[in-house]
Amino acid sequence: MEFRFSALEFLALDFISGMRVVVQKVLQASVTVDAQVVAQIGAGLLVLVGIEDADTTDDIDWLSKKIVQLRIFLDDDGVMNRSVLDTGGDIIVVSQFTLHAMTRKGNRPSYIKASKPDFAIPMYERFCDSLTADLGKPIGRGIFGAHMNVALVNDGPVTIWIDTKNKE
Catalytic residues: 96-98
Contact 55, 62 (CB under 8 A): no
Residue 13 zone, left/alpha/beta (φ > 0; ψ -120 to 50; rest) = alpha
Using only C-alpha atoms, what is the Rg of the chain? 17
Spatial distance between the Cα atoms of 15 and 24, rounded to a whole number of angstroms: 25
Range 127-139 burial, b when 16+ CB lie within 10 A, else e: bbebbbebbeeeb
